[in-house]
């Protein structure tokens, strides 16, 4: 499934250190309460691509606004893909990231689907190291905090014709992230969208592209209006099977300890957290089924006691217990019920590996600061 690398050489970088880098005191004040996606580090990575030269001009430059032509293709046709991963500070001060080669390969698959050029796995990982080399001090050290890294790629050719762009740019920016659940992990309510879909057969559901998010924002508004944190989408063909949330995959825990998650149909984003949860569950000897799950199975399973826990997973929030599903004339579960035991224990095991508190038995960690 891995796409072919289109560059056979490692990119070499030019560095332009920022003259406006925040002083230590200012940085520490931000790191004390970073929130999520609000503050950005002092630098960013940029690599250009065009049809004749391929990838070239790799550089780390001061973080700042881009100058773009108003006719830049991405602004009109949304030819854009992105990734999300985290840098974790371990107790000895070292900086690590989690399964970056999986993000690199997914970026290649997303790029392929959006007719964008592919960046090699090595160049992807090197781009993270280059940013951390200058901005490593932005990786916070308080429990459950991290530096969220956002690589992205878009068509920046000045051209209004409709075709794959001949000029593309790849960027990496980073944003310190506080503990997602500052008050302790609490179950969330989610909203079932019956009117809107996020993906269809042959569409871009398995690509991590901004366009998928654009179409999820209106149902997300509906979710907020109904007191819910996120939207759950059904498959667009039958309207019965559960696909995933707007930005997270979903798991059901059965009373036997078995885990069930929707199978990857091409409409579902292949989450790296999802894959890691499956591996950790199998390591424990638990059965894992990847198959269709209908809303009816969820409803009846909760009523009969067959389904005991439900959780969502993704890099940003790791594992989030789902207390209740609400929809038009529908309510399943209880938002006030405590978080499930297996949900919380898988969450702890995964974060313990990420923060270096448990052995990395699957070779999932890559050191970024050495």
Contact 117, 354 (CB under 8 A): no
> Does 272 interact with ligand PLP (rule: CB under 6 A)?
yes
Query: Are the C-beta atoms of 165 and 73 separated by less than 8 Å?
Result: yes
299-332 residues labelled b (16+ CB within 10 A) or e (exposed): bebbeeeebbbbbbbbbbbbbbbbbbbbbeeeeb
> Which residues within the stretch 87-146 sit at the binding site for ligand PLP (CB under 6 A)?
none
Q: Whose Cβ is closer to ligand PLP: residue 11's or residue 245's? A: 245
Q: Which is nearer to ligand PLP, 44 or 350 (CB)?
A: 350
One of 269, 293, 307, 317 touching ligand PLP (CB under 6 A): 269
Residue 147, Cβ density class (10 Å: 0-12 exposed, 13-18 middle, ≥19 buried)? buried
What's the min distance (Å) between Cβ of 88 and ligand PLP?
A: 14
Q: Give the strand pairing for 365-367 and 307-314.
A: unpaired
Q: Are the beta carbons of 78 and 61 closer than 8 angstroms?
A: no
Q: Looking at 247, 301, 323, 333, which residue binds ligand PLP (CB under 6 A)?
A: 247
- Residues in contact with ligand PLP, shown as a per-residue x/- string from 39 to 78 under the rule CB under 6 A: ----------------------------------------
For ligand PLP, give the closer residue by CB, 60 or 231.
Answer: 231
Nearer Cβ to ligand PLP (177/269): 269
CA quadruple 134, 140, 146, 150: dihedral sign? negative
What is the separation of C-alpha 255 from the centre of its chain, rounded to a whole number of angstroms? 29
Distances (CA, A) of 214 to 27, 78, 151, 211, 217: 32, 10, 18, 5, 6
Instruction: Rank residues 271 and 340 by Cβ distance to ligand PLP and give the closer one.
Output: 271
Which residues inside 178-217 make contact with ligand PLP, applying CB under 6 A? 208
Region of 136-144, 172-180, 243-251, 255-263 interacting with ligand PLP (CB under 6 A): 243-251
Binding flag, residue 261, ligand PLP (CB under 6 A): no
CA nearest neighbour of 327 among 238, 241, 216, 225: 225
Nearer Cβ to ligand PLP, position 229 or 248? 248
For position 232 contacting ligand PLP by CB under 6 A, the verdict is: no
Cβ at position 233, least distance to ligand PLP in Å:
9
How far apart are CB 199 and ligand PLP at their closest, in Å? 9
Residue number, 273 or 343, with CB nearest to ligand PLP: 273
Interface of this chain with ligand PLP, residues 294 to 323, rule: CB under 6 A: 314-315
Sole binder of ligand PLP in the list 249, 261, 324, 354 (CB under 6 A)? 249
One-character DSSP codes across 342-370: HHHHHHHHHHHHHTTSS--TT--EEES--
Angle CA(192)–CA(198)–CA(203) in degrees, nearest 5? 150
Comparison of 34 and 247: residue with beta carbon closer to ligand PLP? 247
Question: How many residues form the binding site for ligand PLP (CB under 6 A)?
Answer: 13
Q: Is residue 84 a contact residue for ligand PLP (CB under 6 A)? A: yes
Distance CA 48, CA 171 (A): 9
Helix (H, G, I), strand (E, B) or coil at 25: helix
What value, to the nearest 5°, has the Cα angle with vertex 100 and ends 94 and 106? Answer: 165
Indicate whether 248 belongs to the interface with ligand PLP (CB under 6 A). Answer: yes
Residues that bind ligand PLP (CB under 6 A): 84, 208, 244, 247-249, 269, 271-274, 314-315
């Amino acid at each position: 499934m891995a796409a072919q690398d289109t560059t056979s050489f490692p990119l070499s970088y030019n560095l332009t250190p920022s003259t406006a880098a925040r002083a230590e005191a200012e940085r520490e004040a931000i790191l004390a309460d970073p929130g999520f996606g609000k503050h950005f580090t002092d630098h960013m990575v940029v690599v250009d691509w065009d049809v004749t030269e391929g990838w070239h001009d790799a550089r780390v430059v001061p973080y700042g606004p881009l100058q773009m032509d108003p006719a830049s293709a991405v602004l009109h046709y949304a030819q854009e893909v992105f990734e999300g991963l985290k840098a974790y500070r371990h107790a000895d001060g070292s900086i690590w990231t989690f399964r970056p080669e999986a993000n690199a390969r997914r970026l290649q698959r997303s790029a392929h689907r959006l007719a964008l050029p592919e960046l090699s796995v090595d160049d992807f990982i090197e781009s993270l190291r280059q940013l951390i080399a200058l901005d490593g001090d932005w990786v916070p050290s308080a429990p459950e905090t991290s530096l969220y890294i956002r690589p992205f790629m878009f068509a920046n050719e000045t051209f209004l014709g409709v075709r794959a762009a001949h000029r593309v740019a790849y960027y990496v920016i980073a944003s310190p992230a506080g503990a997602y659940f500052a008050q302790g992990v609490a179950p969330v309510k989610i909203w079932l969208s019956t009117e809107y879909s996020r993906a269809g057969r042959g569409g871009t559901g398995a690509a991590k592209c901004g366009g998928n998010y654009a179409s999820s924002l209106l149902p997300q508004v509906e979710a907020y209006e109904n007191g819910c944190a996120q939207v759950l989408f059904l498959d667009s063909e039958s309207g019965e099977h559960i696909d995933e949330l707007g930005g997270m995959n979903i798991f059901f825990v059965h009373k036997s300890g078995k885990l069930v998650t929707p199978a990857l149909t091409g409409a579902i984003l292949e989450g790296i957290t999802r894959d890691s949860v499956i591996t950790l569950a199998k390591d424990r000897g638990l059965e894992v089924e990847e198959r269709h799950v209908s809303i009816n199975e969820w409803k009846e399973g909760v009523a009969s006691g067959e389904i005991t826990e439900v959780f969502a997973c993704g890099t940003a929030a790791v594992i989030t217990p789902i207390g209740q599903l609400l929809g038009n004339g529908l309510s399943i579960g209880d938002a006030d019920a405590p978080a499930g035991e297996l949900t919380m224990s898988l969450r702890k095991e995964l974060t313990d590996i990420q923060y270096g508190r448990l052995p990395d038995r699957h070779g999932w960690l890559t050191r970024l600061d050495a």
